[in-house]
Amino acid sequence: MTPDSSNRRTPEGNRRAGSEGAGRTVLIVDDDPAHVQHVREGLAPQGYRFREARDGAQALSAIREHRPDLILMDVEMPGLGGVEVCRIVKANAGEGGFGFIPVILMTARQAAGKVEGLELGADDYLVKPFDMLELSARVKSMLRLKALQDALIEKNRELDRANKELARKREELLTLSRTDPLTSLSNRRYFEERLGEEFARARRYRSALSLVMLDIDHFKRINDTYGHPFGDEVLRAVALASRARLREVDLLARYGGEELIALLPETSPADALRACERVREAIEALTLDYRASDGTQQTVRCTASLGLASLPSPGLQTAEDLMRAADESLYRAKEAGRNRVRQ
């Protein structure tokens, strides 16, 4: 015999067994106060916290108020009976309800009541008069079940939270992988992904699709004159102004360096031309404040050239054809003197 097992029946062993039940709330429901007292005395060594109710209605309000870990309930009571209360407790076991609370029904009746009680979701059943050791053992076993169930629910909640966090992170990463860090526009990778899809859709449904290439004019001069960081600022301002002049469904991306690219679904050449003109004007109207190291301030302006190509067009069989056509339009805009749109 180990020193520990020899300890079991000593007062110290009892105190330990009792501390396991400490903090657990047992609701005793019985219309007979003497029986309530009897049960309390039988369970006293376990250190439970007790709540009492004299009938079914009282039981329900005690359950709402105290959320007991276990209900020990008489079946035969005036008014709302134990079986009915049990049914209500089990019907409200879900999230937002009472949660899982084990119910042990107590009755003087034999057989029929027992089956009925268990079928209605009572977790255990005791027939009066019962042995106090049996009561104690069943209560302990039900409380263990309750603790396991609670732990499971908590684990599920944790898992749920972790899953939501993971989904959020994945969404965040996806957005990040599609975004240009300097301008916060879409990046080239995402643009190319979408171009393939939109091109296929437009071909299939013979719908309009316009593609715009935008290149800031003499951007090298801006960098050379005001420095690269100011050039970055100009780029951000151009991106923001362009984005604001397009529709929500239009995709605007930074294609590289100081080049933007836009995909305008369901947009005819004439409408796309108007959109390009709006963007060009908005960029032309930008004023950027440059502050030199000697403190002097200067207003900087810039312009951009835009090249446009649209579907449907018999010559444009692939997405690459469409890109090439827009690039050629952009070249013509530059050749014609910049700060203009060509298609």
* Selection from 179, 175, 136 nearest residue 26 by Cα: 136
Q: Prior bond to 314 cis, omega within 30?
A: no
Instruction: Report the C-alpha gap between 44 and 65 in whole angstroms.
Output: 22
**Residue choice 125, 219, 226, 255 for contact with ligand GH3 (CB under 6 A):** 219
For residue 31, the partner it binds in Mg ion, ligand GH3, none, with Cβ less than 5 to 8 A by kind, is Mg ion
Q: Minimum distance from CB of 310 to ligand GH3 (Å)?
A: 23
Q: Minimum distance from CB of 232 to ligand GH3 (Å)?
A: 5
Strand-pairing partners, residue 259, are 215, 256
Binding mask 224-263 for ligand GH3 (x = CB under 6 A): ----x--xx--x---------------------xx-----
Instruction: Report the C-alpha gap between 135 and 115 in whole angstroms.
Output: 19
* Residue 284, phi then psi, degrees to nearest 5: -60, -30
For residue 226, the partner it binds in ligand GH3, Mg ion, none, with Cβ less than 5 to 8 A by kind, is none
> Amino acid identity, residue 242?
S
Strand-pairing partners, residue 311, are 209
Three-state DSSP class for residue 329: helix
Beta pairing, strands 341-342 & 124-127: unpaired
Of the listed 258, 266, 284, 328, which one is catalytic? 258
Binding mask 186-215 for ligand GH3 (x = CB under 6 A): -----------------------------x
Number of residues that bind ligand GH3 (CB under 6 A): 16
* Selection from 35, 45, 17 nearest residue 75 by Cα: 35
Instruction: Between 24 and 254, name the residue whose CB sits nearer to ligand GH3.
Output: 254
Instruction: Between 130 and 230, name the residue whose CB sits nearer to ligand GH3.
Output: 230
- Is residue 277 annotated as a catalytic residue, yes or no? no
For residue 338, the partner it binds in Mg ion, ligand GH3, none, with Cβ less than 5 to 8 A by kind, is ligand GH3
For residue 188, the partner it binds in Mg ion, ligand GH3, none, with Cβ less than 5 to 8 A by kind, is none
Q: Residue ranges of the alpha helices (H) in the chain?
A: 3-6, 11-21, 33-43, 56-66, 82-91, 112-119, 132-177, 188-205, 219-226, 228-244, 269-284, 319-335
Instruction: Between 235 and 311, name the residue whose CB sits nearer to ligand GH3.
Output: 235
Residue nearest ligand GH3, Cβ-based = 231
Active site (catalytic) residues: 258
Residues near ligand GH3 (CB under 6 A) = 182, 215-220, 223, 228, 231-232, 235, 257-258, 334, 338
